[in-house]
Amino acid sequence: MNQSALNLAAIGIFTMTMSTLLSPLLNIPPAVPAIATFSILGLATLDSFQWQGRFGSIFLDWFASFSPAHRDRVIRHEAGHFLAAQSLEIPVVGYTLNAWDAFRQGQAGLGGVQFDTKELDAELQQGKLSAQLIERYCTVWMAGIAAEQLAFSNSEGGADDRQKFRETLVKLGIPASELPQRERLSILRAKDLLQNHQSAYDALVAALQERHSIEQCYSAIQNAEH
């Protein structure tokens, strides 16, 4: 069962516990909390096996979206990816900032910045990547985590980024024992990049807050750097 389904299951258990405790005070029939809990657990199971966790991701992301701090963290995370990709000449072809927008665009997961990966895919099919290309993509994948750490001293997102990072390096035959060190180095490179382009990063954050188009985001970066 994926993480979204597990979170829904946890909500179901919490709901049953609280409703059981409060039902005598609120005159709620005992069957009501049980039905509600089993419904949530059943939905979590269906979501996991039939919808690949999309419903759970949308629900949990919608719930978290009421927090301005969460929205700001997401935007700063994605701005890190966007600016790193732009600086390292990896084209950005789109972005979403929540699971619902990602679902409407036919994407899996919680959304994020989408890159043109033709160059990466072509070299992966050959079973090898140039050292320069590996470094560029690893820096971009870790840039969201780096941006969060710079802004908040920790990172909450980035699980998908880490998975993509590790899966790619494993495909290239990189020993698992080397992955943590390579990840740390990529985060450090991303931090240096973002700090060296602080004005552009701040302009990009403002553009993403206004849901500007890709072209407008590129213009914001260019104007800030001139």
With CA atoms as reference, report the closest residue to 221 among 77, 80, 69: 80
CA distance readout (Å), 57 to 21, 36, 86, 113: 28, 20, 28, 17
What local confidence, expressed as pLDDT, does residue 108 receive? 59
Contact 4, 60 (CB under 8 A): yes
Query: What is d(CA 183, CA 146) in angstroms, rounded to the nearest whole number?
Result: 11
Q: If you ran DSSP here, which 8-state letter would residue 114 be given? A: E
81 by Cβ neighbours in 10 Å (0-12 / 13-18 / 19+) ranks as: buried
Locus of tokens 């665009």: 105
> How wide is the angle at C-alpha 90 spanned by C-alphas 117 and 86, nearest 5°?
150
CATH of domain 68-224: 1.20.58.760
Contact 171, 123 (CB under 8 A): no
What local confidence, expressed as pLDDT, does residue 212 receive? 96
What local confidence, expressed as pLDDT, does residue 112 receive? 86
What local confidence, expressed as pLDDT, does residue 219 receive? 96
What local confidence, expressed as pLDDT, does residue 24 receive? 61
Query: What is d(CA 37, CA 31) in angstroms, rounded to the nearest whole number?
Result: 10
> How wide is the angle at C-alpha 70 spanned by C-alphas 16 and 216, nearest 5°?
140
Q: Which ranges in the chain are annotated with CATH 1.20.58.760? A: 68-224
Ordered per-residue pLDDT tens for the chain, 226 residues: 444 444 444 555 555 565 555 556 556 665 655 565 556 555 555 445 444 455 555 555 555 555 788 889 999 999 999 999 999 999 999 998 876 666 666 665 566 899 888 888 888 788 777 888 999 999 999 999 999 999 999 998 888 899 999 998 998 888 999 999 999 999 999 999 999 999 999 999 999 999 999 999 999 999 998 7
Positions of E strands within 5-158: 92-96, 112-115
- DSSP string covering 120-148: HHHHHHTT---HHHHHHHHHHHHHHHHHH
Query: What is d(CA 58, CA 110) in angstroms, rounded to the nearest whole number?
Result: 7
The two three-digit tokens of residue 158, written as one number? 């980035």
